[in-house]
Structures are given as structure tokens and as C-alpha cells.
Structure 1
Amino acid sequence: MLASAPTKSEQKTPSFNNLNDLASSQVGGKIIFATDEWFAAADNLLKVEDAIFKEGEVTDYGMWMDGWETRRRRSEGHDWCVIQLGVKGMISGIDVDTSYFCGNYAPRCSIQAANLDTVYKGRDRDRTGSSASVEEYKKIQELKSEDWEYIVSLTDLQPGFQTSSHNYFTCHSNKTFSHIRLNIYPDGGIARLRVFGKASPCWDKVTDKQLIDLLSIRNGGTCTGYSRYDRGHPKNLIKYGRSQCMTDGWEIYPKASRPTIVQERRSDGKLYTSGSEWCIFQLGHTAIVSMVEIDTNHFKGNFPYTCKVEGCLQDKDSSNLQWKLLVPETRLKGHNQMFIDLQKIGTSGIGVISHVRLTISPEGGISRFRIWGNKVKTLSAKL
């Protein structure tokens, strides 16, 4: 099913932006073919960081650009590339980001997708200044990518000015995809390609005895809500591996209205705090939780004072969530990986859950959040 063309309201920030980027190089996304990469290599499309611009910088091939840019086409056809997603899944939306490509952006694009079993190796060198060889064309033709399903039809793109660079497309297919083909017409540049969606793990291959991170991107965990964020979206918390830097986590800046003098509460010796912040996640599968992991890696002077974790079971018809305590208010440390055994703290008996809520007080940064447990079959097991 084709995606909807971007609308004025979607340009602001569509809801699918809260989902995981299945194509990011950080989760294993790879370019496996590109027709041409004269000005800038296609691998740049999958970078985690937003595109940047370096005023006046040039290379042997032209102006330096942080994205994928092909030479002006002087032969039949159009340019295209094939991307192997880092995580197979259902695609909810796409952002074709043309940041800083203003006069040289690709004026039109379309996107096709397929679900393949074959896993391909990434490229082993920078392809800037090159185009695909005859051998590479022969190899990629085996995939017959020109026949893949269109999830974005041929659509005009907007130039890479700050107010127009994000070209959002909502996808309506409920199929699982592993590869996409990005077509640009006829040539030009695109800075980033974000493919937002939810992983489609094969839960039949996971036994109820296996301890698994139920929030992991690969296992279908998703962020469904949050109070706010300033630097780093809360969906970063469920990436696999430890964080690479502070922006690779969830951070909230302190409020100017915080107390002039920080004081202790006389009853328990803890500090008074100026409010709290929260985020909610849906597990990849209903489960019984045995351990919670809170990691403040890289947050040394700006970690939250305390955190609390709650869980609930939400059926499709549930309208009133009943949150139960998994981890009571707990002091945190900076630049520290904490594992909390629920059996040891006496909260392991809350039963099957489908969602978790992390609350931090008063604000600060957390890099990773993991829920370790065992899957449990219920009527709404695969949510």
C-alpha cells in the first residue's frame, strides 16, 4: 500500500517520529548498492547524527556535502540506491531529509520495499567520486528491485531549507520489510533517510524460559509517550549496546523555576525535588519481569536524583491503566550501570505486563533502559 503524500500538519512532526529508525547505521542499516556517488557517498543517508554544513569546504569532486549526492545525469535513466534495514519490521513513516541541499536537492523521489531472507555485506570503502561498476549492476539485478512494492509513489520533494527540509510520508502497509529501494529523479542530493517503524521479531523461536530484553529495538519495544525531552529522544533508551555519548540517550534540561536552595526532607533524608518527568514504553511481548536495568553512562554531573519504574497490562480494550510498582523510588549514580533484581526488592509478583513507565526526578539524563524477563502468552501477547 502506498504512503500518503506529506501534508502541512505532518511537516511539523508526525507521531511516527517517536518510533525507531530501522535503517540507521547504529542498528545495522547498510547501503548495498548505489548507481552514483560522485559528490557524496550514499552511506551518509543512514548516519545517526543530523546533517551538518561546512561553509566553503570542497573536495576533489566538488562542494563537501553531508548526504548522498549524485552527479548531473547525462545518460538515460535516474539514480537509485538499495538499503538493507538494520532491523526487519513494519514501516509506519519515512522522512526524506534534504537538509542543506537547496539548489542541488533531488527534486522527486519514490520508495520501494521488499522482505528478503538474504543478508548482504556492507561496502568496504568510501565511494565518493565513483559510480556503480558493471559487476555491481549485475549483482544487484538479481534482487529485481525494480519490481518491489511501492510504499511511496513518485512525489515532489522540498529543498533543504530549515523550514522545508523534512519530507514526511505516512506508510499504511502492515507488511514486514527488510530492504528498501530509494529512487531519486533524475539526480541530486538527499541528506538523511529515516525509516520509522516497529521490529517484527519471530517470537515463535523464543521460549518462555529465555531471559530477554523486552524493550530492545530488535525485540519490538517502542516508545508510546513522554512528558518532554530536550537533548535526545526517550526512544534512544531502548537502543542496543551502551550509549556512545550524552545525545545518544534521554536528557531533560533543568527548569529555571527549580529551588533556590536545595533542602532535605526531614522524614527520610532525601532531597526535595522540583517535579518529575516520565516516558512510557510498550514491550515487544507481554512478559513477567525479573530485572530492570538503568544506565546513566556519560551522564556524570547531570543524572537524575531518583527514578521509579511501574508496569501494567494493557489489553486492546483497556482505557484505564492500572500501574503497579516494579522499582520503588531509587537513588541513581552518575555514569553508572545499575541492575535491579525484582525478587530481591520484593516486587517480582506483579504478574504479566505489556507496558512500563519510567519516572525520573527531578530531571537529567539516562542513556539506556532495559526490562529483562520472560515472554508470556496472553490473549494480547503480540501487541
Structure 2
Amino acid sequence: MSKHNNNAPDIKDGFIPIDSNDEEDQFFKDNIDAMNKINATILADRESTTEESLHNQQLKDNSGILYRPSYRRLNTCYSLNDTSFATKIDLAADYQGSSIMFVSDQTFGSAGNIIRTDVIKEKKELWEMENEEEGWQNGWLVKRHQPNAFAVIQLGVSGIVSGIDIDVTEYSQCAPTTVSIIGHLRDSPGKWIKLLPQVFVDPDSHNFFETRNPNICSHIQFTMVPGSAITRLRVYGDVAPPFIPIDRTINLASNLFGSQVIQKPVNILRGDIPNIILDRANSSHDGWICTRDKNANDIPQYTTIKLATKGIIGRFLVDTKHYIGNAPQSIVIQGSMITDQNVNDLENIQWINLIDEDQIRHNIFPNMKHIISCTYSEPITHIRVRPIPDGGIQQLVAKGKVFLQNKLPQPTPISKRKRDGIDKKGTRSSARLMKK
């Protein structure tokens, strides 16, 4: 029997390959003209840089074989913490500077609601409405009888997608039947790739999908069939900024440059990943509050942060804005050089104090910014912070510079004697000829 007669998908490690030639994806083909117009805008906005080749590490197949994207549904995951991408950055979030670029319809609720991450202070009666199509909408809902609906999201920072959460909570009879997602390749303008083919979604719940795709995406298009509603869309992955400046001091712990929280305390009373590396302080919900440590030092409440790149830190900024009664008394900040081989063994890694003993005992005050010098001058890749004895902080900033192991070649200096003996035309100067 021929191999082509077997319609079963080639499943590997639970992942189902994505067929780019799927004839059933008619909606993508019908809207190719609209996508081409968007591509023209993307091309106009792109800026080239000489530093991109130095710092933009991409995953490529050296054998020349094309990588085939795949995905799998996480049926046993009911919250983000259950997934393998729980510590990844939401590439489509509003805190990244993402925005809705094009939308087919938004009769009930703005499409911008699906990328919101701030805490919405809504009235209780708004959640008790029987009719989901009336009044204020928490998500994005289109008008009835639409065969499909789609929105194009411009990612604030390009990245590699590794996980997707299609959140349709609060929507039961308005939930879509299927959804699909495609991504625009940042380094191949005009080309799109399937991140998620048409998949069924469960109403009034989170729908988690894990993806395998090494391409860097700058835009995504979300499509739901039929036109219906979605509460939030989360696209998790690794940030791939166009370049990291090497000639100036930056925040090496910024999410915009690809910094990532890889370990958090066991219990967080308020806040979520990656709050403490976000440059946002609208309320105390934008930071982290650890539980009260009734048994001091039994379980150190460390937060481990992977820096955007290997760097040398000059100073820290610890912000406790909005933390009036929950600020810690003091703080510990440590650093280490961690490789890919031992990143999963954080407990046995040697950590070095980055602030001296006097600064460790320095009081942390409520609702203010604290600038603390870094006493360690060697390059590091990770830092970890611990409030003493417990408490919360709004943000941790690590100001420093990229560490370049191999410095760029410098021009060989010419001695003054040699300069005096050679004129602009490469001949000996008239002054020296007269001496002869």
C-alpha cells in the first residue's frame, strides 16, 4: 500500500506536523491581497542595523533541510503554570507595545481587549449579565452571522513563538468553533507561516497549545470561525530584539531586550510573570508580593532572572512604588554565570553577592525608588533577588553594558615620527628633503 494512502498524521513526541499546503485553509488564501498590503507597511517600518548580525542569534538548520512546524494541544493543562512555557514572555501583550493593526469587525468590544494585561476594575453587575452581547465587553465580540473574523496584531518585539493560550472564558454560546493563527516572518518580508492550523476550542475555558517553530515572527493573524468572541489571546515565546546596544548603558533585566523570569517564589500573593521586569507601575498588581515568611529562612523566596545578554552591571534600581504596607525591610541581590548545561540545576549553582554587606542591610522604604551600586565587576548572565524577610517590589532594574568577549579590532596607531615623514601624497615632506 502506498504511503500516501495513509491519512494518519506523523505524530512525533505528541506534536502534529503542520501541513502548509492544507487546502481547507481557504480563508488565508482568500485574504492574501489584504496580507500583501500589510506586508508593504511592514517593509516601510523595518530599519536595518549593523549590530543585528552580532546579537540576533537565530535558530537555523545547518543541513539545509526545511524545518516543518508542529503543534500539540495541552489537554491536561488548566492554567499557565501547568504548561512548559509558563516562564515565557507574552509576545502579543500590550506591555510589549503590541497593537491591533487590522481587524475585520469589532461591533461588540474592541479587538484591543484581547492583548490587554492590566488589571481591569470592573463592577460586579457587569459580570452578571445574562446577555453576553449587551453593555461593556471584557473581550472581543463580532456581530452575528459572520462566517469568520480575524485580527492582525503587530508584535511590540519580534520573537519565536513556543506557546499559545486561546482564552474564551466568559463566552459560552458566543465562543468560536475553530481558530487558526499565522505569523509573519521578520527576516523574510512578505512571507507568512502557520503557527496553528484550524483547531477546535472549548468554550468558557483556556485552550493551551505548544508549538515548535524556530522562525522569528513580527506579526500574527488570529482567525476564528465562525465570527464570534474571544476574551484574551496570549502568544508566549522568546523575545528576539533587532539588536542590543553595545555602546550605552541599558536595563539588562528588561523584557523588551529579552530578559526572562525563569524561577519565582513558590507562592505569589499578587502579581504574575513577568511583572517585576516590566517598565509599568500603574498599581501594586504590576509587581510581586511574596507570602509572609513565618518561618524565616526555611524557604528562601528567590526570584531568578535571566538577563537579556551576558553583561556587566553597574547599579540596580529597586522600585517599591504602590507598596506602602508590603515593602520588604531589606533585599539581597546575587548573580552568577550560568550556561545552558546547568540552567536546570539552579539550586547547586554558586551565587555571588552583587551588593556589599552595608547595602544588604540597607533599609528598603515603601513607595520609592532605591539606587544600589553593584560591587561585582565581572560579567554575569543571571541574577536573583530576595526580599528580607518577605514583601513585595514593583520592579527590579539592572543597569549595565553588554560584555564583549572579543573586542572589535582597532586601527593601528601611527607614530608621530612616521606621520611627520609622510605627507598627504605619500611622499616625504619638503621639510625633511631640505634637511638632506
TM-score bucket (shorter structure) = 0.7 to 0.9
Query: Is it true that 1:90 corresponds to 2:160 in the alignment?
Result: yes
- Shift of residue 253, structure 1, vs aligned partner: 3.1
1:105 and 1:190 in contact (8 A); partners too: yes
Provide the rounded CA distance (Å) in 2 between the counterparts of 1:101 and 1:63: 14
Q: 1:22 maps to what in 2?
A: 91
Provide the rounded CA distance (Å) in 1 between the counterparts of 2:194 and 2:276: 32
Q: 1:358 maps to what in 2?
A: 385
- Shift of residue 102, structure 1, vs aligned partner: 1.1
2:69 and 2:213 in contact (8 A); partners too: yes
- Shift of residue 17, structure 1, vs aligned partner: 2.4
Provide the rounded CA distance (Å) in 2 between the counterparts of 1:42 and 1:170: 24
TM-score, normalisation: structure 1: 0.78
Query: Is it true that 1:110 corresponds to 2:180 in the alignment?
Result: yes
Query: Is it true that 1:152 corresponds to 2:224 in the alignment?
Result: no
Q: 2:34 maps to what in 1?
A: none
Q: 2:221 maps to what in 1?
A: 181
Unaligned ranges ≥5, structure 2: 1-67, 407-436
Provide the rounded CA distance (Å) in 2 between the counterparts of 1:88 and 1:244: 25
Provide the rounded CA distance (Å) in 2 between the counterparts of 1:303 and 1:340: 16
Q: 1:200 maps to what in 2?
A: 240
Query: Is it true that 1:237 corresponds to 2:304 in the alignment?
Result: no
Q: 1:2 to 1:186 in 2, by over 3 A?
A: farther
- Shift of residue 358, structure 1, vs aligned partner: 0.6
Which runs of at least 4 in structure 1 moved beyond 6 Å after TM superposition?
none
Provide the rounded CA distance (Å) in 2 between the counterparts of 1:69 and 1:286: 44
Identity %: 26
1:275 and 1:362 in contact (8 A); partners too: no
Provide the rounded CA distance (Å) in 1 between the counterparts of 2:94 and 2:339: 34
Provide the rounded CA distance (Å) in 1 between the counterparts of 2:142 and 2:136: 12
1:277-296 to structure 2, matched below 5 A, reads 277-296=301-320
Of Structure 1 and Structure 2, the greater strand share is in 1
Letter in 2 for 1:306: S
Return the match for 1:339 from 371, 394, 410: 371
1:67-98 superposed Cα distances (whole Å, 9 cap, x missing partner): 01112225xx4211101112211122111110
1:264-313 superposed Cα distances (whole Å, 9 cap, x missing partner): xxxxxxxx778641110111110111111111110011111111011111
1:196-243 superposed Cα distances (whole Å, 9 cap, x missing partner): 12211233x622x41111111111100111222121025211112x41
SS of match in other structure, 1:44: helix
2:328 and 2:387 in contact (8 A); partners too: yes
Return the match for 2:354 from 298, 322, 326: 326
1:250-329 to structure 2, matched below 5 A, reads 250-254=288-292, 257=294, 276-318=300-342, 320-328=348-356, 329=360
Letter in 2 for 1:81: A
Count of paired positions: 324
- Shift of residue 112, structure 1, vs aligned partner: 0.4
Q: 1:57 to 1:63 in 2, by over 3 A?
A: farther
Q: 1:169 maps to what in 2?
A: 209
Q: Which has the larger radius of gyration?
A: 2
- Shift of residue 62, structure 1, vs aligned partner: 3.1
Unaligned ranges ≥5, structure 1: 119-142, 259-271
Letter in 2 for 1:232: G
- Across the aligned residues of Structure 1 and Structure 2, the Cα RMSD in angstroms comes to 2.6
